[in-house]
């Protein structure tokens, strides 16, 4: 996909990138795009077989010149420290770190043994933390660099031993961002979305059975959210080019592809009348006002609000805001709406309904209660109009 966009061919010339878990799936697709853009990529991978297959793939695509494979078990603190020393000795500096590697253990919380929890903790949280601890002083000294954490969707049944530590990476990124906000270092998290990799397919087969549905039913239920692994990997790679813009945010590959004008598919569209366009603009502007207001809260209030939003909507407020801005531009320019946006409006309606219920028991000032309640009810009613259209 990236080979079709000539202007990015040398966009990352000579940038040194450490990419963990890049031997297959989304990671390898991201690595291919980064190499095409001129980066020097150290691919940290545990699986020897994956390394050999990946080497052959890169060779077939003439992308081996700047690729360096490093076999490592990220559950080992000693091996991580040794890898960092090797990279610094060979390249002097690491411009970008992609904490992509992961291990997945599935099952009910009480049925996943402690050894599996421990391995997941080491690979899915401690490894990114340790790499960050080793790299961030160098980046601070140079006042430059990018650290990327690969997040997931958050709490999900039968995935606790995986999701809990992936979610912790989001909080690690948020904390790090608050500490280096005044530097020239960028830090953000990116999620690939639902991608049919071999790892994901195996996990979904187990989870769908536990949820009483077939894998086909699971994929059909989430059809509008599915990305190809090449598209998800391309989103990872391109995000580096907008790292300053994304710093401090939790984003997704779809958002990045939209920002670069690369869309997954031509989604089904629906024409809009002028009244509905007016309502959509009003709702998006109202959300944007709330979003900007959240950014001005103190750090503890802000974290609580943003976590609650993601819990109810399923994506971060940053990604939601970006999606709505993209929709706003589309609606204004073409008077159409992609039908997959309607699922986002349904989730926003649910979120504001929850906020309305909470407000009734929290706000003691009668005048403020009426004003805020009227505001939320108007917002909910407008979203309902959009959904029905």
Residue ranges of domains in the chain, CATH in brackets:
2-259 (3.40.50.720), 269-388 (no CATH)
> Which of 65, 59, 71, 2 has its CA nearest to residue 33?
2
Q: Which pLDDT band, with edges at 50, 70 and 90, does 266 fall under?
A: very low
The tokens describing 191, both together, are: 């999620």
Give the pLDDT confidence of 116-127 residue by residue, as tens digits. Answer: 999 999 999 999
Q: Which pLDDT band, with edges at 50, 70 and 90, does 342 fall under?
A: confident
Q: Which pLDDT band, with edges at 50, 70 and 90, does 74 fall under?
A: very high
**Alpha carbon 230 to chain centroid, angstroms:** 15
**Alpha carbon 101 to chain centroid, angstroms:** 14
Half-sphere exposure of 292 (CA within 13 A, CB side): 5
Sequence-distant (≥ 6) Cβ neighbours of residue 341 within 8 angstroms: 323, 327
Lowest mean pLDDT among 35-39, 67-71, 177-181: 177-181
Residue 147's φ and ψ, nearest 5 degrees, are -120, 125
Lowest mean pLDDT among 91-105, 209-223, 318-332, 364-378: 209-223
Residue 187's φ and ψ, nearest 5 degrees, are -145, 135
Give the pLDDT confidence of 154-182 residue by residue, as tens digits. Answer: 667 788 888 899 889 999 998 999 899 88
Of the ranges 260-269, 270-279, 342-351, which is most confident?
342-351
The tokens describing 101, both together, are: 């590697």
Lowest mean pLDDT among 27-41, 50-64, 212-226, 290-304: 212-226
In this prediction, residues 225-232 reach a mean pLDDT of: 78
pLDDT of residue 250: 86
3-state class percentages of the chain: helix first, strand second, coil last, to nearest 5:
65, 10, 25
pLDDT of residue 39: 96
- The pLDDT mean for the chain works out to 86
Report the predicted TM-score, pTM, of the whole model to 2 decimal places: 0.73
In this prediction, residues 57-66 reach a mean pLDDT of: 94
In this structure, are residues 314 and 347 in contact, taking their beta carbons and an 8 Å threshold?
yes
Give the pLDDT confidence of 329-339 residue by residue, as tens digits. Answer: 888 877 766 66
Angle at 219 between CA 213 and CA 220, to 5 degrees: 90
Lowest mean pLDDT among 130-144, 195-209, 356-370: 195-209
Beta bridge partners of 195: 227
């Amino acid at each position: 996909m990236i080979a079709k966009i000539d202007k990015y061919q040398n966009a990352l010339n000579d940038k040194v990138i450490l990419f963990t878990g890049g031997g297959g799936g989304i990671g390898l697709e991201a690595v291919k795009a980064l190499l095409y853009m001129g980066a020097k990529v150290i691919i940290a991978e545990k699986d020897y077989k994956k390394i050999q297959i990946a080497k052959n793939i890169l060779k077939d695509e003439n992308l081996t010149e700047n690729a360096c494979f490093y076999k490592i078990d990220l559950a080992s603190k000693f091996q991580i420290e040794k890898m960092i020393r090797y990279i610094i000795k060979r390249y002097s500096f690491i411009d970008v770190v992609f904490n992509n590697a992961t291990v997945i253990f599935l099952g009910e919380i009480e049925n996943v043994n402690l050894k599996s929890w421990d391995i997941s903790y080491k690979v899915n949280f401690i490894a990114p933390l340790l790499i960050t601890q080793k790299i961030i002083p160098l980046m601070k000294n140079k006042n430059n660099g990018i650290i990327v954490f690969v997040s997931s969707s958050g709490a999900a049944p039968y995935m606790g031993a995986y999701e809990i530590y992936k979610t912790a990476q989001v909080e690690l990124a948020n904390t790090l961002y608050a500490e280096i906000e005044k530097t020239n270092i960028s830090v953000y998290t990116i999620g690939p979305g639902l991608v049919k990799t071999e790892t994901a397919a195996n996990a979904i087969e187990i989870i769908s059975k536990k949820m009483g549905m077939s894998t086909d039913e699971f994929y059909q239920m989430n059809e509008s959210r599915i990305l190809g692994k090449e598209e998800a990997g391309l989103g990872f790679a391109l995000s580096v080019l907008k790292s300053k813009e994304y710093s401090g945010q939790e984003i997704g590959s779809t958002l990045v592809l939209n920002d670069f004008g690369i869309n997954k598919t031509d989604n089904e569209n629906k024409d809009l009348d002028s009244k509905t366009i007016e309502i959509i603009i009003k709702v998006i502007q109202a959300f944007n006002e709330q979003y900007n207001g959240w950014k001005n809260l103190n750090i503890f209030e802000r974290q609580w609000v943003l976590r609650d939003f993601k819990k109810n909507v399923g994506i971060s407020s940053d990604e939601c805001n970006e999606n709505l801005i993209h929709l706003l531009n589309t609606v204004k320019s073409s008077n159409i709406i992609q039908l997959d946006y309607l699922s986002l409006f349904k989730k926003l309606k649910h979120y504001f309904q929850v906020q309305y219920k909470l407000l009734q028991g929290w706000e003691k000032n009668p005048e403020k209660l009426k004003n805020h309640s009227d505001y939320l009810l108007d917002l909910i009613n407008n979203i309902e109009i959009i959904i029905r259209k």
